[in-house]
Structure 1
Amino acid sequence: MSRCIRHTTVFGAVLLTALLLNTARLQIVQSTVQDTNPADRRPTIARYAQPRGDILVGGRPITGSEDTGEQLRHERAYTDGPLYAPVTGFASQRYGETLLEATEDAVLSGTDPMLSALPLWNDLARARAAGGQVVTTLDAKAQRAAFRGLGDRTGAVAAIEPSTGRVLALVSTPSYDPGVLSGNDETVIRAWARLNADPDKPMLNRAARQTYPPGSTFKVVTAAAALDAGVVRDPNARTRSPAPYTLPGTTTALTNEFHGCVDASLRDAFTWSCNTVFAKLGVAVGAETMAAKARDFGFNDAELRIPYAVARSTFDPTVDKAQLALSSIGQYNTRATPLQMAMVAGAVASGGQLRTPYLVERTTSAHGTTISTTGPRPARQVMKPSTAAHLRDLMRDVVERGTGRNAALPATTVGGKTGTAQHGVGNTGTPYAWFISWAQPDDDPEPAVAVAVVVEDASARRGDISGGGVAAPIARAVMEAVVRGGG
Structure 2
Amino acid sequence: MSRCVRHTAALCLLLLVALLVNAARVQIVEAGTLDDNPANRRAAIARYAEPRGDILVDDRPVTGSKDTGEQLRYERVYRDGPLYAPVTGFSSQLYGTSFLENAEDSVLAGTDPMLAPLPLWHELTRSRSPGGRIATTLDGSAQRAAYDGLAGRKGAVAALEPGTGRVLALVSTPSYDPGRLSGNGPAVESAWRRLNGSPDQPMLNRAIRQTYPPGSTFKVVTAAAALETGTVRDLDDPTDSPDPYRLPGSTSSLTNEVDGCEDASLRYAFTWSCNTVLAKLGTRVGLAGMTGTAEDFGFNDRGLRVPSPVAASNFDRRMDKAQLALSSVGQFDTRATPLQMAMVAAAVAGGGTVRTPYLVDRATTHDGSPVRTPGSRVLHQAMNARTAAQLRELMTEVVENGTGGKAAIPGVTVGGKTGTAQHGVGNTGTPYAWFISWAHADGSPEPAVAVAVVVEDASAVRGEISGGGDAAPIARAVMGAVLDGAERKRDR
Taking structure 2 as the reference length, the TM-score comes to 0.97
Superposed displacement of residue 12, structure 1: 3.6
1:291 is matched with 291
Q: How far apart are the structure 1 equivalents of 2:8 and 2:351? A: 86
1:238-286: CA deviations, max 9, x gaps? 1111111111111111111111111111001001000011111111111
Q: Is the 8 A contact 2:342 2:451 kept in 1?
A: yes
Listed as ranges, the gaps of 5+ residues in structure 1 are none
**Residue pair 2:57, 2:140 contacting (<8 A) in 1 also:** yes
Which range moves more in the overlay, 239-248 or 206-215?
A: 239-248
What is aligned with 1:95? Answer: 95
Rate the CA distance shift 1:217–1:28 in 2: closer, same or farther, 3 A.
Answer: same
Give me the whole-angstrom Cα distance separating, in 2, the residues matched to 1:237 and 1:402: 19
Measured in 1, the distance between the counterparts of 2:176 and 2:64 equals 17
Distance 1:452 1:160 in 2: 9
Question: SS state of the match for residue 158, structure 1?
Answer: strand
Separation in structure 2 between the aligned mates of residue 99 and residue 41 of structure 1, nearest angstrom: 25
CA distance in 2, matches of 1:7, 1:248: 96
The CA distance in 2 between the partners of 1:71 and 1:8, in whole Å, is 46
Distance change (3 Å), C-alpha of 1:144 and 1:12: same
| Deviation of the 1:95 alpha carbon | 0.8
**CA apart distance, 1:152:** 1.9
Q: 2:25 is aligned with what amino acid?
A: R
The residue number in structure 1 matching 2:201 is 201
1:225 corresponding residue in structure 2: 225
Q: 1:406-445 counterparts in 2 under 5 A?
A: 406-445=406-445
What aligned pairs does 1:262-277 form with structure 2 within 5 A after superposition?
A: 262-277=262-277
Which residue matches 2:156?
A: 156
Residue 211 of structure 1 is matched in structure 2 by 211
Q: Matched residue of 1:206: which SS?
A: coil
Q: Distance in 1 between matches of 2:471 and 2:380?
A: 28
Q: Distance in 2 between matches of 1:236 and 1:141?
A: 40
Helix, strand or coil for the counterpart of 2:419?
strand
CA distance in 2, matches of 1:349, 1:180: 40
Output the CA distance in 2 between the equivalents of 1:181 and 1:379: 36
Q: Distance in 1 between matches of 2:315 and 2:9?
A: 78
Deviation at 1:183?
Answer: 1.2
Residue 370 (structure 1) shift: 0.2
Q: Deviations over 1:367-423 (max 9, x none)?
A: 000011111013632112111111101000000010000000011100000000000
1:92-171 alignment, distance < 5 Å: 92-171=92-171
What is the rounded CA distance, in whole Å, between the counterparts of 2:287 and 2:118 in structure 1? 57
Q: CA deviation at 1:126?
A: 1.3
Alignment correspondent of 1:336: 336
Kindly state the Cα deviation for residue 458 of structure 1 after the two structures are TM-superposed. 0.2
Counterpart of 1:32 in structure 2 is 32
Q: Does 2:438 match 1:464?
A: no
Q: Does 1:306 align with 2:306?
A: yes
In 1, distance between residues paired with 2:25 and 2:295?
A: 52
Aligned to 1:394: 394
1:98 & 1:359 partners in 2: Cα distance?
A: 14
Task: Name the CA distance, whole Å, in 2 between partners of 1:352 and 1:124.
Answer: 49
Post-superposition shift, 1:10? Answer: 4.2
Match of 2:53 in 1: 53
Does the Cα contact within 8 Å between 2:297 and 2:380 map onto a contact in 1? no
Matches within 5 A, 1:72-83: 72-83=72-83
Q: Counterparts of 1:157 and 1:253 in 2: how far apart (Å)? A: 33
Amino acid at match of 1:111: T
Letter in 1 for 2:174: P
Distance apart, 1:2 and its partner CA: 6.0
CA-CA distance at 1:7 after TM superposition: 5.1
**2:491 maps to 1:477:** no
Change (3 A) 1:228 1:122: closer
Deviation of 1:3 (Å): 6.0
CA distance in 2, matches of 1:76, 1:256: 52
Cα offset, 1:170, TM superposition: 0.2
Please give the alpha-carbon distance, in whole angstroms, between the structure 2 residues aligned to 1:78 and 1:294: 38
* Equivalent-residue separation in structure 2 for 1:125 and 1:86 (angstroms): 36
Partner SS, residue 283 of structure 1:
helix
The residue matched to 1:249 in structure 2 has which SS?
coil
Q: 1-side partners of 2:106 and 2:178: how far apart?
A: 19
The corresponding residue for 1:372 is 372
In structure 2, C-alpha distance between the alignment counterparts of 1:17 and 1:356, rounded to whole Å: 56
On the 8 A contact 2:172/2:206 being kept in 1, the answer is: yes
Give the whole-Å Cα distance in 2 for the aligned partners of 1:125 and 1:241: 72
The alignment partner of 2:76 has SS state of: strand
Q: Secondary structure at 1:268's aligned position in 2?
A: helix
- Report 1:351-370 matches (<5 A): 351-370=351-370
Task: Name which of structure 1's ranges 74-83 and 24-33 shifts more when overlaid on structure 2.
Answer: 24-33
Rounded to whole Å, the distance in 2 between the matches of 1:233 and 1:190 is: 61
Contact 2:436 2:452 in 1 (8 A): yes
Q: What percent of counterpart residues are identical?
A: 69
Alpha-carbon distance between aligned partners in 2 of 1:442 and 1:374, rounded to the nearest angstrom = 30
Q: Give deviations 1:459-481, integer Å, cap 9, x for gaps.
A: 00000000000000000000000
**Whole-Å Cα distance in 1 between the matches of residues 392 and 46 of structure 2?**
55
Match of 1:323 in 2: 323
**One-letter amino acid of the counterpart of residue 234, structure 2:** D
What code does the residue aligned with 2:27 have?
Q
1:85-131, Cα deviation, whole Å (9 max, x unpaired): 11111111111111111110110000001101124343222111000
Give the residue type in structure 2 aligned to 1:403: T
Gaps of 5+ in 2: none
Length, aligned pairs only = 487
Give the aligned partner of residue 176 of structure 1. Answer: 176
Shift, 1:37, TM fit: 1.5
Going from structure 1 to structure 2, the CA distance change for 1:323 and 1:379 (only over 3 Å counts) comes to closer
